[in-house]
Structure 1
Amino acid sequence: MTIALVTGANRGLGREVSRQLSGKGVTVLLGSRDPAAAEHAAAGLGATPVTLDVTDPAGVAAAAELVRERHGRLDILVNNAGVFRGCGAEATTAAVAREMFEVNVLGVITVINAFLPLLRRSAAPRIVNVSSTTASLTLTSSGARLPGDASRRMAYCSSKAALNMLTVQYAAAFGEDGDLARIRINSASPGWTATEMNGFRADRTVEQGARAVVALALLPDDGPTGGFFDDSGPVGW
């Protein structure tokens, strides 16, 4: 039995990732900061709801203890919880950026830190950090035309670029630890996927967007680590 935790999973991409993993026989723990929303979403998927607000360290620690008591380990961690606030350059204050970094970057650190002891107990631990193609320095600096409103995503893209660096740094650090070297950790870009976050304006479905995330969550032992991928393959950093 493979056990997966998906954060921010009561709707959109996180819910679809949970659905696809469940369909592959994975026992899914559906994380959401809203207990009622988690219950409702989990009931429709045969998943187990877990109350988890990534910005609340005490709550994350409590969720990790709950998973330890019920399952003893964690095999897959999908850091999907994220926030986007469209904001032009002149209106982007430190407070605006701080909100996105708090969830998109610091929240991921909090969750990974709390669940590492349980991932150590897995025979094949996997971590997937849900990023964004718009976080690619390679594509952005090349002048490539990326989807969405480039004038309003400065803080969001910066937070996801920081998340990508975390992926690289965690992979390097894990490689120096005998137990943690078994972890495959990667960033996944779902592409321009229609969710509530973008007002459902995107051209990809959540089914399509979830593909790369699920593929990285189910990597074989010889799969890549410390990389950035979409469902077509590697994405330039």
Structure 2
Amino acid sequence: MTTALITGANKGLGFETARRFIAAGHTVYVGGRDPERGRRAAEQLGARMVVIDVTDDASVAAAAKTVEAAGGLDALVNNAGIEGTPTDAAEVTADMLRPLSETNVFGVVRVTHAFLPLPQRSAAPVVVNVSSGLGSKTLVTTPDTPAYAYPGVAYPASKTTVNMITVQYAKAFPGMRINCVEPDYTATGLNGHRGTQTVEEGAEIIVRMAQVGPDGPTGDYFDAAGPVPW
């Protein structure tokens, strides 16, 4: 069985992913920036808890040391993310992009950089970056689709960047399985619970890709139905 860290795991998709991993017999670290919420989630799940604010270098470094001292890591799931208020191109400013980039983009790089040495020691090292169909140029430019109709700039831009980060890491570390996933429009706090599917449905692809073996895909982009077009 493997040991996994899931960021942003005290609720929503992260919580459900942790629940499913634990049910399968894996050891899970629930990563969250709020110690009390994280503690409650970990107790409810039967997980370990580690405080980690993906926007803070010192917090991420301390979390990596904690996990390393406890025995290491096989799978990293970069799930923490924010959406903000969708603002169209006519109104968006650079300041509106900064908070999303800090969490959704820089947070992924910060956490991956700090934790990467740990799964590299595993027999089946895996990294899963939770992206979105809004990060797909193909889907966003296909008329009469939900992705095409989405008005915001910052969130899709952040997820497109996550996709490229995933590809470049996968090329640099061919011995690891590093992929990005689209959980689809899931009812979570990220979207005010307006999503059209359950967290159980949304977490399925995250759980699946976090358990791929050494012969599994890498540097790719998946939803529950299969590959997502870039």
TM-score (norm: length of structure 1): 0.94
Cα separation, partners in 2 of 1:76 and 1:93, compared to 1, 3 Å = same
The aligned counterpart of 1:204 is 197
* Distance in 2 separating the partners of 1:230 and 1:110: 25
Report the CA distance between 1:144 and its aligned residue: 4.8
Cα distance, 1:149 vs structure 2: 6.0
Q: Distance in 1 between matches of 2:157 and 2:189?
A: 21
Match of 2:9 in 1: 9
- Let me know the Cα RMSD of the aligned residues: 1.2
CA contact (8 A) 1:6 1:78 kept: yes
Amino acid at match of 1:163: V
User: Post-superposition shift, 1:147?
Assistant: 5.5
Q: Deviations over 1:130-181 (max 9, x none)?
A: 0001111111123251259612x21100000000000111111112xxxxx2
Deviations 1:9-49 (A, max 9, x none): 10011100100111111100000000000000110100011
Q: State the number of aligned residues.
A: 229
- CA distance, structure 1, for counterparts of residue 144 and residue 203 of structure 2: 23
8 Å contact 1:187–1:227 — kept in the other structure? Answer: yes
Moved more, 137-146 or 223-232: 137-146
Amino acid at match of 1:129: N
Q: Is the 8 A contact 1:147 1:192 kept in 2?
A: no
- The corresponding residue for 2:168 is 169
The equivalent residue for 2:150 is 150
- Does the Cα contact within 8 Å between 1:52 and 1:60 map onto a contact in 2? yes
Output the CA distance in 2 between the equivalents of 1:123 and 1:170: 18
4+ residue runs of structure 1 moved beyond 4 angstroms?
A: none
| C-alpha distance in 1 between matches for 2:191 and 2:148 | 8
| Aligned pairs for 1:35-184 within 5 A | 35-71=35-71, 73-89=72-88, 90-146=90-146, 150-151=150-151, 153-175=152-174, 181=175, 183-184=176-177
| C-alpha separation in 2, matches of 1:70 and 1:228 | 31
Runs of 5+ unmatched residues, structure 2: none
C-alpha contact (below 8 Å) 2:139/2:148 kept by paired residues: no
Q: TM-score, normalised by structure 2?
A: 0.96
The letter of the residue matching 2:166 is: T
Give distance in 1, aligned partners of 2:186 and 2:33.
22
Amino acid at match of 2:64: A
Inter-CA distance 45–136: structure 2 relative to 1 (3 Å threshold): same
